[in-house]
Structure 1
Amino acid sequence: MMKGWILQKQVYGKEPSYETLKLIETAKQAGIELELHDPRQIEIIVTQDDRKSVLLDDKITKLPDFIFPRMGATTSYFALAVIRHLERLGVYSVNSSEAIEKVKDKLFQMQILAEKFPVPKTIMVKFPVNADIVAKKLGFPVIIKTLSGSQGSGVILSHDAQSFEDLGNLIQITNPNAEIILQEFISSSKGRDLRVFVIGNRVVGCMERYATDDSFKANFSRGGGVRYFEVTPEIEKLALSVTSELGLEISGVDLLFGEDGYMICEVNSSPGFKGMEQATGKDVAQELVDYIKSKVN
């Protein structure tokens, strides 16, 4: 029987996500034993006796056929080390450690994509921040983002120079070493965007996400609505090209409605799919399991 591990940080007392539970059940129906493990359960030993260099809960364990990291932007250095080690032992990783590392850093991701694709203007800042420079280079309102974050966390809209300075002072006092980027606000896409789900070299589905209140965010995980959106040749080409450029196999590509066409907001290496299934009627978990099975075989 094929065996795999979902690698995902677990919070004590919190149930696994919809995606995790459905993947495990779908894999079981396909004859795959899929287990959920927190990377912190795993210890690695750098030794020539490679097949005994991985410990799970302090015990030498048989290696899985594949791993499916599901941490995205929250992937820690330790988790990356575990993924790298298993890759070196011949375990297939659904999205490589190299691709995950590229994508988890939002600034690095933008640096790569800006060479070939339309992206919002982005600045990395240090404190104190000169609001006049921000006004000149990006304008207000402006998006403030932490370098790592997912599901809309760590993303704030600052409406004007005064509120920006107030927030900057608060951040500087509470966390002077905070890693922050500023991003141009695309007003034509306020409260809505597109999420395109890519598996392999194929677009599985596309949905429009929209805010159900006056928020500038449209994240489904934070109460936003979703609806089916037709995959046009432009959307397909853009999503596949971006995914390939970042070296990803599985991706969630977020597109903004720019005045002159679509712009890349960001790319997720571990996209949720509950909203995608709801909007498109597709069984994304089955698509993922079928893809993994074909790659391992």
Structure 2
Amino acid sequence: MLDKVIVGSEEWCAFPELNIPTIKARVDSGAKTSALHAINIVPFVKNEEDWVKFDVNPIQSNTRTVIHCEAPLVDKRIVKSSSGYREKRYVIKSEIKVGELSWDVELTLTNRDSMGFRMLLGREAMSGRILVDPEQKYLLGQPTAEKLKEYYEKNEEVRTGLRIGLLASNPELYSNKRIMEAGEARGHEMHFLNLKYCYMKLDADTPEIHYRGGRVLNDFDAVIPRIRPSMTFYGCALTRHFEALKVYCLNSATAITQSRDKLYSLQLLLNNGIDIPTTGFANSPLDTNDLIKMVGGSPLIVKLLEGTQGKGVVLAETKKAAESVINAFKSLNANILVQEFIKEADGKDIRLFVIDGKVVASIQREALPGEFRANIHLGGTASIIKATVEERRIAIKAAKAMNLKVAGVDIIRSAKGPLLLEVNSSPGLEGIEGATEKDIAAEMIRAIEKNFKMVR
């Protein structure tokens, strides 16, 4: 006990290996693990080992002072906060220096904007080394105002690129990681904005978007919405609010909303002279037989209107099977489409990636042997293909009809010619980048650069 150092409930510490010369910490024996404030957390591989890079704003309520850090990844761990919220966090190990004392500690990385301190020192890190006097503060000293000012000014970033937010749900998704990397490579300040952590202030004079902990997001130049289907309503509400704040959105909320409505999007495409497989829609199951005849009989496809990317899609190979599936869905009050099955496509479709009115890449997708493809991509392999002039024209026209700056347009080759299947407002990058070896993420960032100048 005599060998232990007595510290106060608040102390200044440093992390030499992370180039953090000073940061104020809350010393809390009630917390098991230690936590460091971190944003823009991105895992990567270095020398065949897992690492993580992240940014630290060491001063509370100051986003201009930024330290770029990277460290070997020790673990990914579920941590329960004092408010009961459970979160998966990256864990690193780094040397900490408190006064003249230094040792290695494990740190979980998390956004601590909502907390009073950028650093939390938990009991696992204190064990065997320090004792806490909760009535005291800064027993091991604190930097002078002059030192802090010198340090702050040295680490204040001068913005040269755009401040771009990626509005999505999963920072570890290949597409999201690639977009973050591409933006940073082109000199922009990239921020991953988790949909669930955003909330809005609707006010005629001072509308705002806030992030977990109260951070205001009104100072973004552009936002890239990549909204998962289950979050369409809330994600589009956030996108509309960014648009109201004059933040340039790569895809607008209106365009995303209509692309997610299968029936409306097909009607919109037809109104713009774009051919689709013959499709039927009905509210009542009493006319099932005529509905089946309408699309050419069996086999046929049954699609849930709320489904997407292959989910909620059934191939009915016989008339009896079609009647059973349609009636089963109708008994659940589910809205469905029935669609002719394009047999001659032989389990293949074409994905054309459209950015800012141009087809930047195209691939052919083919089902694995034994799988069926219900006029929609369900998996399998992807290979590079040269799309025809007509297919490129259809893809560009479809994206324009939906008013999408970024779109994945799916086309199927039939005996009647190319038919449009679906327009995706958040197309994945992994398959098309892997097959074509093109930097699609960089093309998306270039579209922002071009259009940002136009809207300004």
The verdict on a shared fold, with TM-score over 0.5 as the criterion, is yes
Aligned residues of 1:140 and 1:160 also touching (Cα < 8 A) = yes
More strand, by proportion: 2
Q: Which moved more, 1:135-144 or 1:214-223?
A: 214-223
When you count helix as a share of all residues, which structure comes out higher?
1
Structure-2-length-normalised TM-score? 0.60
- Aligned-residue sequence identity (percent) comes to 30
Q: Distance in 1 between matches of 2:292 and 2:352?
A: 32
- How far apart are residue 183 of structure 1 and its match? 1.3
Higher RCO, Cα 8 Å, sep 6+: 1
Kept in 1, the 8 Å contact 2:239–2:253? The answer is: yes
* 2:169 aligned with 1:9: yes
5+ long unaligned stretches in structure 1: none
The residue number in structure 1 matching 2:214 is: 59
Displacement after TM superposition at 1:200 (Å): 0.6
The 2-side partners of 1:118 and 1:230 are apart by: 20
Between the aligned partners of 2:355 and 2:229, the Cα distance in structure 1 is 18
CA RMSD of aligned residues (A): 2.2
1:78 to 1:216, Cα distance in 2 relative to 1, 3 A:
same
C-alpha change, 1:77 and 1:62, in structure 2 (3 Å) is closer
Aligned position for 2:274: 117
1:295: which partner in 2? Answer: 451
In 2, distance between residues paired with 1:188 and 1:268? 24
Q: 1:162 pairs with 315, 320, 324, which one?
A: 320
Aligned to 1:196: 352
Q: CA deviation at 1:74?
A: 4.3
Instruction: Give the SS at the match of 2:324.
Output: helix
Which shows bigger deviation, 244-253 or 58-67? 58-67
Q: Does 1:208 align with 2:364?
A: yes
Instruction: Rate the CA distance shift 1:221–1:50 in 2: closer, same or farther, 3 A.
Output: farther
Provide the TM-score with structure 1 as the length reference: 0.90
User: Is the contact made by 1:66 and 1:296 (CA closer than 8 Å) also made in structure 2?
Assistant: yes
Determine the structure 2 residue equivalent to 1:44.
200
Match of 2:239 in 1: 83
Query: In the superposition, relative to structure 1, how do residues 231 and 221 fare at CA in structure 2: closer, same or farther (>3 Å)?
Result: closer
Q: Which shows bigger deviation, 241-250 or 118-127? A: 118-127
Paired residues, number: 290
- Structure 1: which amino acid aligns with 2:163? K
Structure 2 Cα separation of the partners of residues 214 and 201 of structure 1:
37
Cα displacement (A) at 1:154: 1.5
Q: How does 1:199-278 map to 2 (within 5 A)?
A: 199-217=355-373, 222-278=378-434
Cα distance in 2 for partners of 1:226, 1:91 equals 35
Residue from 130, 152, 164 that aligns with 2:310: 152
Q: Is the 8 A contact 1:95 1:250 kept in 2?
A: yes
Q: 2-side partners of 1:261 and 1:72: how far apart? A: 31
- Return 105-114 or 31-40, whichever deviates more: 31-40
Structure 2: segments with no counterpart, 5+ residues: 1-158
Q: Distance in 2 between matches of 1:161 and 1:284?
A: 43
Residue 42 of structure 1 and its aligned partner are, at CA, apart by 1.4
For 2:166, the aligned partner's letter is I
